């Protein structure tokens, strides 16, 4: 996707002898309010994944802001709960089977690893992206009154009710819920931490959907330790979607979800968790 904001989260980029890019990370909460979150919170992890990969790609000359791109898969591992905010990091890419995969690592002021992640995507080089997206959006039926029944803020571990994305769980033959993310509750300035192009529900939203589902599922605040997301189709803003639990391994502290919208499988989410201290 084209760059939605002019600010740089990473700076002082340097290309090392092995092709790796090193950089420093902004500490400015006025520009980046999500820095107020835990360094291993899914919103922060997915947000720095986006900005550092974009910034590093621009530094290397491999990111074209005029061309739309989409993330198709991302995985991450978080540091311990006591780790500090990212102060520096590294970025590199590798090519395998004609696909380019990027890698990121972030470190705090004491050189402890905050998070490491990798992912890959697809580039829309020849398609009329805007026209194609408008056609896709028109096929989604918008929600009708009554208002969406969001889960209570305490049940999903957020500070304000507006940050709740999911309804309470249905625990029948399958464990499911509905979600609704709109421009009014899902993007800055309405949401205190999440930004984006406004074209669709993004990977940061989906990371937060996974975390909120986990809190509802286990009935307690959880700390995300690692995870993976696969994106098969865009989830549209302003339209309800369904989330279903497809696997839960309480011994391994891991759960997997599928997100569907209008009958189409859109996102697969797997998260490893620990009870919040």
| Tens-place pLDDT, residues 267-276 | 999 999 999 8
User: What pLDDT, on the 0 to 100 scale, is given for residue 200?
Assistant: 76
Residue 178 and residue 237 in one domain? yes
User: What pLDDT, on the 0 to 100 scale, is given for residue 180?
Assistant: 95
Residue 120 has pLDDT above 70, yes or no: yes
Q: What is the rounded CA–CA span in Å between residue 236 and residue 202?
A: 9
Q: Which two tokens stand for residue 98?
A: 């004609």
User: What pLDDT, on the 0 to 100 scale, is given for residue 145?
Assistant: 44
Q: What is the rounded CA–CA span in Å between residue 55 and residue 95?
A: 19
Q: Which two tokens stand for residue 72?
A: 């198709």
Question: The pTM is what?
Answer: 0.90
Residue 207 and residue 115 in one domain? no
Percent of the chain beyond pLDDT 90?
68
* Number of domains into which the chain is organized: 2
Residue 116 and residue 139 in one domain? no
Quote the distance between the C-alpha of residue 213 and its chain's center: 14
pLDDT in tens, 207-251: 999 999 999 999 999 999 999 999 999 899 988 999 999 999 999
Percent of the chain beyond pLDDT 70?
86
- What CATH number did the domain enclosing 25 receive? 3.10.129.10
pLDDT band, very low/low/confident/very high, at 39 (cuts 50, 70, 90): very high
Residue 39 and residue 143 in one domain? no
Q: Quote the domain boundaries for residue 49.
A: 1-126
What is the sign of the dihedral through the CA atoms of 83, 86, 90 and 96? Answer: positive
Q: Which two tokens stand for residue 73?
A: 């898969």
Indicate the residue among 108, 126, 144 that finishes a domain.
Answer: 126
Residue 203 and residue 277 in one domain? yes
Query: Which regions of 126-239 does DSSP assign to beta strands (E)?
Result: 170-171, 175-179, 222-231
Residue 239 and residue 259 in one domain? yes
Indicate the residue among 109, 126, 143 that finishes a domain.
Answer: 126
Phi, psi of 143 (to 5 degrees): -65, 150
Q: Which secondary structure element, helix H or strand E, spans residue 5, and what is its range?
A: none
Residue 81 and residue 191 in one domain? no
Indicate the residue among 104, 126, 148 that finishes a domain.
Answer: 126
Residue 121 and residue 146 in one domain? no
Instruction: Point out the least confidently predicted range of 116-125, 200-209, 218-227.
Output: 116-125
Instruction: Point out the least confidently predicted range of 34-48, 102-116, 131-145, 173-187.
Output: 131-145
On whether the CB atoms of residues 71 and 123 are closer than 8 A, the answer is: no
pLDDT in tens, 51-106: 999 899 888 887 666 665 678 899 999 999 899 999 999 999 998 777 889 999 99
Residue 56 and residue 166 in one domain? no
Residue 144 and residue 42 in one domain? no
* Rg for the chain, CA atoms, rounded: 18
Which has more pLDDT, 190 or 24?
24
On whether the CB atoms of residues 260 and 241 are closer than 8 A, the answer is: yes
Residue 199 and residue 269 in one domain? yes
Residue 89 and residue 137 in one domain? no
């Amino acid at each position: 996707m084209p760059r939605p904001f002019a600010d740089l989260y990473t700076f002082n980029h340097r290309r090392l002898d092995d092709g790796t890019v090193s950089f420093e990370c902004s500490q400015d909460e006025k520009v980046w309010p999500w820095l107020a979150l835990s360094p291993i919170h899914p919103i922060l992890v997915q947000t720095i994944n986006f900005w550092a990969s974009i910034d590093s790609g621009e530094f290397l000359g491999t990111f074209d802001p005029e061309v739309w791109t989409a993330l198709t898969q991302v995985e991450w591992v978080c540091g311990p709960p006591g780790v500090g905010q990212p102060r520096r990091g590294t970025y590199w890419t590798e090519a395998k089977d004609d696909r380019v995969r990027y890698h990121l690592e972030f470190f705090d002021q004491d050189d402890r690893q905050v998070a490491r992640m990798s992912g890959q995507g697809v580039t829309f080089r020849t398609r009329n992206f805007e026209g194609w997206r408008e056609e896709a959006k028109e096929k989604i039926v918008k929600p009708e009154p009554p208002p969406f029944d969001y889960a209570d803020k305490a049940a999903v571990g957020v500070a304000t009710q507006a940050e709740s994305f999911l309804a309470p769980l249905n625990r029948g033959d399958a464990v499911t819920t509905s979600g609704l993310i709109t421009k009014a509750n899902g993007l800055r300035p309405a949401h205190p931490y999440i930004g984006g192009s406004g074209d669709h529900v993004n990977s940061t939203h989906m990371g937060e959907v996974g975390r909120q589902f986990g809190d509802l599922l286990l009935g307690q605040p959880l700390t995300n330790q690692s995870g993976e997301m696969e994106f098969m189709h865009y989830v549209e803003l302003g339209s309800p979607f369904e989330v279903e639990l497809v696997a839960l391994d309480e011994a391994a502290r891991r759960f997997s979800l599928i997100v569907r919208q209008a009958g189409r499988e859109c996102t697969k989410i797997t998260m490893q968790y620990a009870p919040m201290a």
